[in-house]
Amino acid sequence: MSEQIAKKDTFAKKYFFIIIGMPIVFWALVFPFIKIALEELSPVNLTIMRLLVVCIVFLILLIVKPNKFSKIQKKDIIPIFLVGFLGIILYHFGLNYGEQYISASAASVIIATIPIFVVILAAIFLKEKITLKIVLGVLLSLVGVVVISTVGRSDALLEIKYISGALAVLLAAVLGAGYTVAGKKMLQRYSALSLTVYVCLIGSLGLIPFISTSLFEEVAAMSLTGWSVVIFLGVFPTVIGYVLWYVALEIKSASEISVYLYFVPVLSTIISYIFFRDEITWLFVFGGALVILGLHVVNKQSSKAG
């Protein structure tokens, strides 16, 4: 058994950049797809439908491959519910609500604080050491994201109509950081797949009070495009993305992998350029270079530590 675990760890470390890269690509694709989905569903109903797809996939996995899952401990049921409800459901509610009242650029800058909150929370709850190189890497990448979001695109606009919108996105950033740090702690007892499945299934119970007649009305009127987008959002960024994120957490510290989140706005801007012909400036290239430099600094740190 220990030999099998050792082989799994070696495989994961060898293909780490693929494991961490896939969720980053999927999460970068989320923004244009959400824009399409919100034409047919409200922010709350989109979250419900997205998580419904996730729950169906995970329930099928539990039935077909029950031996792949660690047994859930009774003492962990409430903590797992809180991680799922706060870190996934309220995270998406906060982000969707906030983006109605602040510009995408402003949301990008606020959500880019996630790695900072991860570093702080990981130091407090996981006793991870905050090194100078981690701090430098996080700050370099943060500056890169700020440049990309504010002046890297010709249509960049830092607009906040209501402060409640900015506070909702900031709350989402804190909850997103908490999801990573709490998950890192629980990965001592559960595999990445098991933890993601339990967090999504149990956490999704918190969606029940938000179900209303508008959900059924909107779903009944959904087009084939709407269904395709919802299924994509459920399967790729959520099912595959969240599982691989926890797999990456098994390999490296929460502080180290959180910096990779800075690649999301870089790829998102490139995707917008390809599909929507959104203009980008040379300052985007400069901001992207800062993000890569920050990642390089953190990776150099983790390589020496290993």
Give the span between the Cα atoms of 46 and 106, in whole angstroms. 22
Q: Residue 12 has what pLDDT? A: 66
β-bridge partners, 102: 160
Model-level pTM? 0.86
pLDDT tier for residue 306 given thresholds of 50, 70 and 90: very low
Q: Are 76 and 189 in contact (CB under 8 A)?
A: yes
Using a 10 angstrom Cβ sphere, with 0-12 exposed, 13-18 middle and 19 or more buried, the burial of residue 235 is: middle
Q: pLDDT tens-digit profile of 81-129?
A: 999 999 999 998 888 788 778 876 677 778 888 999 999 999 999 999 8
Which of 151-165, 171-185, 214-228, 279-293 shows the lowest mean pLDDT across its residues?
151-165
128 is written with which tokens?
């991870």
Decide: 202 and 51 in contact? Cβ < 8 Å: no
For residue 5, pLDDT beyond 70: no
Q: How would residue 166 be classed by pLDDT, with cut points 50, 70 and 90? A: confident
95 vs 190: which has the higher pLDDT? 190
Model confidence at 301, in pLDDT bands (50, 70, 90)? Answer: low
Structure-token match 């402003």, residue found: 106
Between 55 and 144, residue with greater pLDDT = 55
Give percent of the chain above pLDDT 90. 53
Residue 139 phi, psi (nearest 5):
-70, -40
What's the mean pLDDT in 181-199?
Answer: 95
Alpha helices in the chain (DSSP H): 2-14, 16-37, 43-64, 77-84, 91-98, 104-111, 114-125, 132-150, 163-186, 192-203, 213-220, 224-233, 241-251, 254-258, 263-276, 282-305
What percent of the chain stands above pLDDT 70? 90
Using 50, 70 and 90 to split pLDDT, how confident is the model at 6?
A: low
**pLDDT higher for 118 or 35?**
118
How far apart (Å, rounded) are the C-alpha atoms in residues 152 and 158?
12
- First CA to last CA distance, the chain: 24
Average per-residue pLDDT in the chain? 87
The pLDDT tens digits of the residues spanning 261-282 come to 988 888 877 877 777 666 777 8
* Nearest one of 95, 258, 253, 106 to 173, comparing CA atoms: 95
C-alpha distances (whole Å) from 180 to each of 115, 122, 185 are: 10, 9, 9
Query: Which sequence spans correspond to the domains of the chain?
Result: 2-305
Residue 109: what pLDDT?
A: 78
Cβ(250)–Cβ(12) below 8 Å: yes
- Per-residue confidence (pLDDT) for residue 161, from 0 to 100: 77
| Cβ contacts of 205 within 8 Å, gap of 6 or more | 81, 85
Average pLDDT over residues 139-143: 91
Which residues are CB-neighbours of 84 under 8 A, at least 6 positions away?
Answer: 198, 199, 200, 201, 202, 203, 204, 206
Tokens of 155: 């249509």
